[in-house]
Amino acid sequence: MIRSQFQYSKKVLKHFRNPHNLGKIKDPSGAGEVGNMACGDVMKLYIKVKSNVITEVKFETYGCAAAIATSSVITDLVKGKSIKEAIKMTNKEVIDSLDGLPPIKIHCSLLSIDALSEAIYDYLVKENLEIPKEVVLRHQRLKVHSS
């Protein structure tokens, strides 16, 4: 759902005011950090993986209300998913689970899906597991944009 230019849904405000899974995982299975060069916001996402399932997720985000709300909601969405399922997650799922975002804030939601992808990439590299092509391509795109 696309909302009016500046209007946040109740769900966005709820997650922004009371973010879920805020913080850091000590000794994570994987961690991903991404930033938005235009606004300077940064998100770091940590995952703990057991038997190929994401059992714990935490995040640290320095950013706007939309960036914090999408970080919070993605931790709820991804917990309990297999790595394969988590890789298939889309930005639309994140936005829909917040009952939409104002159009000027859609780009903020990309941070969470990109940070998740980078955390998965980090996990797969550390474990020496096969990395699906879409994860490699996203990693390369993010590397180019951050350098």
Active site (catalytic) residues: 39, 108
- Residues 111 to 130: which contact ligand FES by CB under 6 A? 111
The two three-digit tokens of residue 105, written as one number: 């804030």
Look at residues 62, 93, 66, 63 and name the one whose alpha carbon lies nearest to residue 7. Answer: 66
Residue 44 C-alpha from the chain's centroid: 8
Look at residues 47, 65, 53 and name the one whose alpha carbon lies nearest to residue 111. Answer: 65
1-9, 35-43, 83-91, 95-103 -> range binding ligand FES (CB under 6 A): 35-43
- Residues 45 to 104: which contact ligand FES by CB under 6 A? 63-64, 66-67
C-alpha span between 18 and 126 (Å, rounded): 32
Least Cβ distance, residue 55 to ligand FES (angstroms): 27
Least Cβ distance, residue 101 to ligand FES (angstroms): 10
Q: Which helix (H) or strand (E) holds 53?
A: strand 53-62
Identified binder of ligand FES from the candidate list 31, 87, 98, 108, rule CB under 6 A = 108
The site for ligand FES (CB under 6 A) is made up of: 36, 39, 41, 63-64, 66-67, 108, 111
